[in-house]
Amino acid sequence: MTEAATLEAVTTTSGRVSGITRDKHLAFLGIPYAKAKRFAAPQAPDSWTGVKAADAIGLAAPQTTHLIAGFSASGPQGEDCLNLNVFTPATDDKRRSVMFWIHGGGFTHGAGYEPLYNGGPLATRGDVVVVTINYRLGALGFLRLPEIGAHGNQGLLDCIAALSWVRDNIRAFGGDPEQVTIFGESAGSAAVGCLLGMPAARGLFRRAIMESGAGRAATPETADKQVDALLKELSLDRSKVRDLLTIDPREIVRAQTAVLQSFPSGTARGFGPVKDPGVMPDEPLRMVRNGLAKAIDIVIGSNRDENKLFVPPKREPIDDAALVAGVCAAVPTTDKSAAQNLIETYRASRGSKKLPTDNLDILDAIGSDVRFRIPSLRLALGQRAAGGKAFVYLFTHASPARRGALGSCHALELPFVFGTLNAPTQDRFAGTGVDVERLSRDVMDAWLAFARSGDPAAKAVGAWSAYDETKRPTMVFDTRASREENDPFGEERRALEALI
């Protein structure tokens, strides 16, 4: 990739910026979109005189390393992390559609500057403007402790501040502020789900793509428990809560990690969105069902084997009794008899499709659907019932990594979405060859078509019908060919939904 400084500066509301020229597009990196004191809501960024060189990535939010490769930020970190990157074919007056990316990472990790999220290939293939952001994470981004000015949801307010920056500035980068599509994966998708119903986000985007995450919001009571656990880990009591405003952010991140490990799995475990009447009225699914997003077109979906990214690389086989116990834990509303019937349904379904059927594979399949697929389908139906439109996909390409053990795991679609199959390690994770490249073009073109028109049907993939409860049309993105199917893996879905 060749790079050189841009010859002309672009004027933003805070000052002028210059970027870099890359292959067939321009990149502006690390532009401040807001500033914020610790735990406070974001404010307008400081202005500057002269021309700021937007030729290097900014800071990501403070975070730890992570056992999963690529999960944590690979570059610089710090509290001054409210910055974004713009990728555009030209800084002219063409008014291109805008694609606004929110990275994942469990609301504790990740960065918008990763090579995986390079917006250049999307910008050039689709003649769109791509924006990727960094936002506050973990306790620094979501702690709810009003007595020190931490009202919760700071990270979501950062996303809204970045969208407001896009509204006010993107025209100078060749984009159209009236044609903004927000998209994200995992926690980024959950953030998208929250933004669908947040009053402060209304009017800032027109469409939404949600990859592997329907969204969540903890209750204030749960948030209070997280505060108590964090204070205990930091050896602080409620009389010393203001110390949180000045202690080293690395200490907060360290304590936050210990808190995450001490909580049982579930909503209470992680720092993230919190219900708040004025900011985050309810959980995303309820907000969608209540019609708060009916004017927003949605694409939503999941990967076939999501949970396989989160399991240890080496696991001992489990016997039938352990499988039943695992299913009962994953589906708490079931009993042993119902769990056994569910297992038999999944095993027959997977076997008929020549997919792995040992006990661990069945446990992973059920866990993937409980955690990702079923919530996504319910949100799509909620949007339909409220009078809106949603399109559903299922990504089934299998990773060659670990001799195929990862299957179509969580995050596998990302290099296909961005056209970044040449990013570091993606040859081993996503694969190589003509079928892989074709699949990436399929996904990119569908996302681009949706961003431009609200209809994800593209020439390569053909018709893609809006989701409904009768036929359940779904775009299956597969290695061999992408195609629309009615209710893929329907026998599994019906058996599981009967229990949850």
Which string of DSSP letters, residue by residue, matches 418-487? HT-TTSTTHHHHT--SHHHHHHHHHHHHHHHHHHHHS---BTTTB--PPP-TTT-EEEEE-SS--EEEES
**Other residues' Cβ atoms within 10 Å of the Cβ of residue 269:** 17
Q: List % helix, strand, coil for the chain (3-state, nearest 5).
A: 40, 20, 45
The model's pLDDT over 383-440, given as tens digits with 9 standing for 90+, comes to 999 999 999 999 999 999 999 999 999 999 999 999 999 999 999 999 999 999 999 9
pLDDT tier at 460, thresholds 50, 70, 90: confident
Catalytic residues: 186, 306, 410
Question: Across residues 438-457, what is the average pLDDT?
Answer: 98
Q: Is the pLDDT of residue 278 over 70?
A: yes
Contact between residue 278 and residue 220 where contact means Cβ atoms under 8 Å apart? no
Q: Is the pLDDT of residue 345 over 90?
A: yes
Q: Is the pLDDT of residue 291 over 80?
A: yes
pLDDT tier at 270, thresholds 50, 70, 90: confident
Q: Is the pLDDT of residue 359 over 70?
A: yes
Averaged pLDDT score across all residues of the chain: 96
Q: For position 264, what pLDDT does the model report? A: 62
Q: Counting beta carbons within 10 angstroms of the beta carbon of residue 439, is it exposed (0 to 12), middle (13 to 18) or buried (19 or more)? A: buried
Element (H, E) at 221: helix 220-233
Cα–Cα distance, 431 to 397 (Å, whole number): 10
Q: Give the helix ranges, DSSP H, for 279-402.
A: 284-289, 320-330, 336-352, 359-368, 374-385
Q: Which amino acid is at 404?
A: G
**Residues contacting 369, CB < 8 A, separation 6+:** 492, 493, 496
Question: Across residues 9-35, what is the average pLDDT?
Answer: 97
Q: For position 245, what pLDDT does the model report? A: 97
User: What are the two backbone dihedrals, phi and then psi, of residue 292, each rounded to the nearest 5 degrees?
Assistant: -70, -15
**Residues contacting 251, CB < 8 A, separation 6+:** 234
Q: Which amino acid is at 295?
A: A
pLDDT tier at 1, thresholds 50, 70, 90: low
Q: Is the pLDDT of residue 267 over 50?
A: no
Place of tokens 């700071």: 154
User: What Cα–Cα distance (Å) separates residue 204 from each residue in 34, 153, 166, 208, 304?
Assistant: 16, 18, 8, 11, 32
Q: For position 7, what pLDDT does the model report? A: 63
Nearest to 381 by CA among 370, 366, 391, 372: 391
For Cα atoms 162, 166, 171, give the angle at the middle one, nearest 5 degrees.
165
Strand 25-32 to 20-22 pairing = antiparallel
Task: Flag the least confident range among 3-12, 71-80, 85-94.
Answer: 3-12
Which DSSP symbol is given to 306? G
Question: Across residues 464-493, what is the average pLDDT?
Answer: 98
Question: Across residues 141-157, what is the average pLDDT?
Answer: 96
Q: For position 263, what pLDDT does the model report? A: 74
The model's pLDDT over 365-398, given as tens digits with 9 standing for 90+, comes to 999 999 999 999 999 999 999 999 999 999 999 9
pLDDT tier at 2, thresholds 50, 70, 90: low
Q: For position 6, what pLDDT does the model report? A: 65
Instruction: Give the rounded percent of residues in the chain with a pLDDT score beyond 70.
Output: 98
Nearest to 417 by CA among 299, 272, 284, 328: 299
